Amino acid sequence: MKVLMKGNEVIGEAAVRAGCRAFFGYPITPQTELPEYLAHRMPEVGGFFLQAESELAAINMVYGAAGAGARVMTSSSGPGISLKAEGISYLAGAQLPCVIVNIMRGGPGLGGIQPSQADYFQATRGGGHGDYRVIVLAPASVQEMADLTAEAFELADRYRNPVMLLGDGILGQMMEAVEFKPRPAQNTTNKHWATTGRRGRSKNIINSLYLDPELLEKHNQKLQQKYSQIAGTESRAETYRTEDAAIIVVAFGTAARIARTAVDNARARGIRAGLIRPITLWPFPEPVIRESLGECRAVLTVEMNAGQMLDDVRLAVNGTRPVHFYGRMGGMVPSAAEVLRAIEKTGGMDHGHESCQA
């Protein structure tokens, strides 16, 4: 049965249903409804909720719980994620599965509290130090916040890797219909590596410190092997009206919802526009983008930032088409009408004129 729920609360409920029984966080707008929800929900299912004294404390509690084999989550918004970056690097280094939620707001610094996508670089390039990757999932609806939260826990356990759910203030605050789909029995991954009490087995050590550079290089090679495997199998994207598109818009999250309306409006005016919506931001869905280009003559990236995913789109397109950008910053959200105007002007051509139609 479908219910009407806020995106932030949906993440909390989906986490509980995915078997998450430990949450450590610290409040920050626009994600606070998520810890608020779990503060009452976790005790109902025998789980553990703790509002830590700081983001640093919270992420290190996540490290501890993940090391002990728990399904564990934390959440924040940009400023708090920056504070957690050190811990995320340690989690990646120690190969600990966990889910980190970032409901983005405008930056840099304390910035503001309105919706933004300006943490794309931070999320997809790691944010902390060292050669590591975090799987980044980008929902575009409240329903997808439920589905991808469940998916995040599966991916984290499967690859022993942190997974980030990257939303924005609109997705966190808005209400849409959601159905919590019954999922196959929760991942029963045998966490043979977890520090659960030795009881006769050989010692398990959770660690990211390797003072011998030869050993550290070996460790890094193992991590990189894992990352290539993830990149080869886990990238995904949704395509919309791309089959015959002359102009393809690439956008994720809320920007993709707005772009979809703009694409429909462009089609109504006779402009053959389409949309590619990356669902995984890392690994970036390069194959889908390359395969969908077809007869497209120009690409337009739309983001709520200064142009960050733009770099990845350019790498995927690899110079075969001009890649343009339209974005708003600081918590301002592009309107569908603005995106339509950007589509009309894409490629230096005024596609709004009938005579320019191919």
Letter for the amino acid at 56?
Answer: L
Of 162, 169, 278, 347, which one interacts with other proteins (CB under 8 A)? 169
Supply the minimum distance, in Å, between the C-beta of residue 336 and other proteins: 5
Residue closer to other proteins (CB basis): 189 or 239:
239
Closer by beta carbon to other proteins, 220 or else 265: 265
- String of DSSP letters for 163-223: EEEEEEHHHHH-EEEE-----SS------TTS-S--TTSPPP-------SHHHHHHHHHHH
Residue in 48, 56, 173, 193 binding other proteins, rule: CB under 8 A: 173
Residue among 347, 350, 308, 352 nearest 327 (CA): 308
113 is a site residue for other proteins (CB under 8 A):
yes
Spatial separation of the C-alpha atoms in residues 128 and 123, rounded to whole Å: 10
Integer Cα distance of 71 and 67 in angstroms: 10
Beta-carbon contacts of 243 under 8 Å, excluding residues fewer than 6 positions away, are: 274, 294
Are 205 and 170 in contact by the 8 Å Cβ rule? The answer is: no
Residue with token string 């409006």: 265
Residue closer to other proteins by CB (options 3, 306) is: 3
List Cβ neighbours of 264 (8 Å cut-off, separation of 6 or more).
Answer: none
The smaller minimum CB distance to other proteins, of residues 306 and 337, is found at 337
| Stretch touching other proteins by CB under 8 A, among 9-17, 39-47, 146-154, 172-180 | 172-180
The CA-based diameter of the chain, rounded to the nearest angstrom, is 78
Count CB-CB contacts under 10 A for residue 236.
15
Query: Element (H or E) spanning 23, and its range?
Result: strand 22-25
Does position 4 interact with other proteins (CB under 8 A)? The reply is: yes
Map the footprint of other proteins across residues 251-310, applying CB under 8 A. 254, 257-258, 260-262, 264
**Shortest gap between Cβ of 10 and other proteins (angstroms)?**
13
Establish if 333 lies at the interface with other proteins (CB under 8 A).
yes
| Cβ within 8 Å of residue 74, ≥6 positions away | 23, 24, 25, 58, 59, 61, 62, 84, 98, 99, 100, 101
What totals of helices (H) and strands (E) does the chain contain, helices first? 12, 14
Q: Pattern 177-196, binding to other proteins, x per CB under 8 A?
A: x-------------------
Number of residues that bind other proteins (CB under 8 A): 25
Q: Which stretch binds other proteins (CB under 8 A): 84-92, 173-181, 278-286, 312-320?
A: 173-181
Site string for other proteins, 21-40 (x = CB under 8 A): --------xx----------
In the complex, minimum distance from the CB of residue 168 to other proteins, in angstroms, rounded to a whole number: 12
Between 51 and 173, CB nearer to other proteins = 173
Closest by alpha carbon to 98, among 142, 144, 63, 130? 63
Residue 236, classed as helix, strand or coil, is coil
60 binds other proteins (CB under 8 A): no
Of 57 and 174, CB closest to other proteins: 174
Q: Does 337 bind other proteins (CB under 8 A)?
A: yes
Binding mask 201-240 for other proteins (x = CB under 8 A): ----------------------------------------
Q: Which residues bind other proteins (CB under 8 A)?
A: 2-4, 29-30, 113-114, 169-170, 173-177, 254, 257-258, 260-262, 264, 333, 335-337
